[in-house]
Structure 1
Amino acid sequence: MKIEKLAAIDIGSNAIRLLVANVITERDGKEPSFTKSALVRVPIRLGADTFNSKNISEESKNRMIKAMEAFKLLMEVHGVQKYKACATSAMREAKNGKAVTEEIFEKTNVKIDVIDGKKEAAIIFSTDLSTIIRNDKSYIYVDVGGGSTEITIFSNGKIVNSKSFKIGTVRLLNKKNSFKDVWENIEIWLKGNTQFLKKPTLIGSGGNINKIFKLSGKMMGEPLSLIYMKAQYNFLKSMTYDDRISELGLNPDRADVIIPATKIYLSAMKWSGAKKIYVPKIGLADGIVKSMYYGKI
C-alpha cells in the first residue's frame, strides 16, 4: 500500500479553502482512493471587493497573504508532497488580480493559477460521480459559487454541453444589478439543451447546497426533491439573517448567501424539468486533487 499526501487551495469569491487529502494506492491493482485528511475554510469574501469596486482591497490582499502563510505551515505539518492553488471568478475579474497573485507569490512562494469558468467546471466534473451517475440517465451538474455558476449537461455517460454564467451568491448580494439578462440567458440555455432529455436529474455542488442537504437530515446518497427545495427556500426567506445564524447554526458568511444559492438551484430544476437533486459533497478542491494526481493540471 502506498499513501500520498496532496493538497488543494481553492480561492473562491466567498471563501478560501485548503483541502489536504490522502491518496491510497492498493498493491492489488485497485483504483486509488481519495480521503480527506483536513479541510480548512477561511471566510475572505473577495467577491465583495471585485463585484463592487473591480479590485481586491488592500485589507483582503493582506488577509490572503496571511492565509497562504498559514496554509503553507499546515501543509508542512501534514507532510503534503504536492499542492495546487486555483482562483476563480473574483480573482479573474479583479483589475489588480495579476498584481495580487504576483505579490502573494513573492511573499509566500505560493503560486496561484487564475482559471476560467470552463476550466473550473472541467476540474469539478473530474471528481468521482460513479455512485450517482447511470449511463442510461440524463443529468444537469450545477456548481454555484460566489461569483459564477457552472452548468454541465450530460446524457448517456457523455457531456452534451457546458457553460459558465456570471451569476453567483456574492454577486447576487450586490443590489446594483438586477441580473435580469443573466437569468434569462440561463433559462433559455437550459431549456434549449434539456428539451429532449427524459426525466433529467440535477447534481448540485458548492458549500450552500451541502449545507441545505445537511439541514434536511437525509442520508448520504438520497436526493432532495423539488418540493423540499421550494419549501426550504420559502423557510429560509421567512427568517431574518440573525435567526438563520442563531436558530440554524449557519456561519455569518453563509447565512446571507444561502438564499440566492437556493434560488439558483431551484431555477435550474424548474427550467430543466428536474424533480430531484443529488448532493455528493464534492467541489473544486476535490477536483484539483484528482486532476493533479492524474496529471491533468
Structure 2
Amino acid sequence: MDDKKPATVFATQQRVAVMDLGTNTFHLLIAEGSAVDYKEVVHEHDSVKLGEGGINKGIIQPAAYERGITAMQKFRDGINGHGIKHVRAIATSALRNASNGRQFIEDVADKTGIQIELINGEQEAEYIYKGVKLAGGLTDKTSLIMDIGGGSVEFILCNANTILWKQSFEIGAARLMDKFHRNDPITAEAINSLQLYLEEQLTTLIAVASKYPVEALIGSSGAFETFVELIELEKGNSFDLAIKNYDFEFSDLINTTNKLITSSHDERKSMKGIIPIRVDMIVVASLITRFIIEKLGITKVCMSTYSLKEGVLAEMMTT
C-alpha cells in the first residue's frame, strides 16, 4: 500500500487551467486535485462581448477584437503566475463563425503563446454533458440539457449513463437579441416572431424529444444562474454559486421569466442579481426557456452550475 502513496499524492495535486472563450464572456478556471474532487484556485471571467456589433454579420468588430486580446493577455499572466503547464483554451460559436476568427486565434498565439482549440457544436455539446454529469445532477431518467450561450444554444438529450442525442443551434442570446429585441420592453409582435423562428429552427429537437419523453430540463449555468439568483433574492436568501445543482419551484421560474420578459432595460438594470452583460440578453434567454418548457410540456426544471469548462476540466484531470 505504501508504494502507491506517492502516485496518489501526485494525482491529487495536479494543477490545470481551462479557458472557455464564449461569445459574451471569456472564463478562466485554474483548479487542482482530481476530476471528482477538485479545488478552484482561480475562477475569473471577463465580459469581452466578442459578438457585439457583428454577431449576425460573421465578423468580430475591432473594439471587441481588442477586448478579446486584452483578456487573453490577462489570463496568460494569471496562468504564468501559478506556474501552470497543462492549459487548454476552448473557442466556440463566435470564433467558429467569424470571418476573422482564425486571425484572432493566430494573434492570441503570437501575443500570449496560448493555442486556442476551435471546437464544433457537437464537441461543445459533449463537453457540456460531461460538465453537467460531473455535477451529479443526472439520473437514469431522460433529461434535456440546455446551454444558452451568446452565439449558440446546445441541447443534449441524455441520462446519467449516455447521450441519446445532441445538437448545437446558432440561436444564441446575442444573435436573437440582435434579430428580435430592438424595442424595450420587447414587443408582443417581436415575441411572436421569435417564437415562430424558434419553431422553425428547432424542428429536429422537437421531433427527437417526442421519441424520448423528457423528465427534466437542466439549464446549464449562464442565464439559469441569473434565474436562481433573482428567485432566491426575492425570498430574502443569498445564492451561493458553490452549489452544483438547484431544483426550481416551477411557479417561481414562470413568475421570474414573466417579470423579465415584460420589464424595461432600466428595470432590469436595477434588479440585484443580474450581472451587466445579461441585463438585456436575459429577455431572449427567458423566451427560449419558456418556449422549450411549453413546447415539450416540461414541468420539472433544474440548474447546473457546471458546464463546458468543467467538462474540459474533467477530461484533463482523468487523462
For the 8 Å contact 1:148–1:167, the answer to whether it is kept is yes
**Aligned pair 1:4/2:19, yes or no?**
no
Report the CA distance between 1:243 and its aligned residue: 2.3
Secondary structure of 2:19's match?
strand
Task: Show CA shifts across 1:128-173 (max 9, x none).
Answer: 52632222x1111111100111101125733221111110111111
Determine the C-alpha separation between the residues in 2 that align with 1:257 and 1:47. Answer: 12
For the 8 Å contact 2:147–2:220, the answer to whether it is kept is yes
Question: Equivalences for 1:47-196 in 2 at 5 Å?
Answer: 47-127=51-131, 129=133, 131-135=136-140, 137-155=141-159, 157-175=161-179, 182-185=197-200, 187-196=202-211
What is the root-mean-square deviation of aligned Cα atoms in Å? 2.3
Letter in 2 for 1:200: E
Letter in 2 for 1:231: N
For residues 127 and 200 of structure 1, do their structure 2 counterparts lie closer, same or farther at Cα, with a shift above 3 Å needed?
same
What is the aligned partner in structure 2 of residue 15 from structure 1? 25
Report the CA distance between 1:186 and its aligned residue: 5.0
Report the CA distance between 1:290 and its aligned residue: 1.4
TM-score, scaled relative to structure 1: 0.88
For the 8 Å contact 1:52–1:174, the answer to whether it is kept is yes
Report the CA distance between 1:117 and its aligned residue: 0.6
TM-score, scaled relative to structure 2: 0.82
Determine the C-alpha separation between the residues in 2 that align with 1:74 and 1:203. Answer: 32
How many residue pairs are counted as aligned between the two chains?
A: 288
Letter in 2 for 1:279: M
Secondary structure of 1:48's match?
coil
For the 8 Å contact 1:6–1:23, the answer to whether it is kept is no
Determine the C-alpha separation between the residues in 2 that align with 1:166 and 1:182. Answer: 12
Secondary structure of 1:122's match?
helix
For residues 87 and 198 of structure 1, do their structure 2 counterparts lie closer, same or farther at Cα, with a shift above 3 Å needed?
closer
Letter in 2 for 1:194: A
For the 8 Å contact 1:166–1:182, the answer to whether it is kept is no
Determine the C-alpha separation between the residues in 2 that align with 1:107 and 1:49. Answer: 24
Of 39, 44, 60, the residue aligned with 1:35 is: 39
What is the aligned partner in structure 2 of residue 233 from structure 1? 257
For residues 106 and 278 of structure 1, do their structure 2 counterparts lie closer, same or farther at Cα, with a shift above 3 Å needed?
same
Secondary structure of 2:131's match?
coil
**Residues 221-230 or 4-13, more deviating:** 221-230
Residue segments in structure 2 that go unaligned for 5+ positions in a row: 1-8, 182-192
For the 8 Å contact 2:60–2:101, the answer to whether it is kept is yes
* Identical-pair percentage: 27
Residue segments in structure 1 that go unaligned for 5+ positions in a row: 25-30
Report the CA distance between 1:200 and its aligned residue: 1.4
**Residues 121-130 or 273-282, more deviating:** 121-130
Report the CA distance between 1:259 and its aligned residue: 1.4
Report the CA distance between 1:13 and its aligned residue: 0.8
Of 255, 259, 282, the residue aligned with 1:258 is: 282
For residues 175 and 222 of structure 1, do their structure 2 counterparts lie closer, same or farther at Cα, with a shift above 3 Å needed?
closer
For the 8 Å contact 2:132–2:220, the answer to whether it is kept is no
For the 8 Å contact 1:85–1:111, the answer to whether it is kept is yes
**Residues 96-105 or 32-41, more deviating:** 32-41
Task: Show CA shifts across 1:21-47 (max 9, x none).
Answer: 1224xxxxxx74123222111111112
Determine the C-alpha separation between the residues in 2 that align with 1:196 and 1:289. Answer: 32
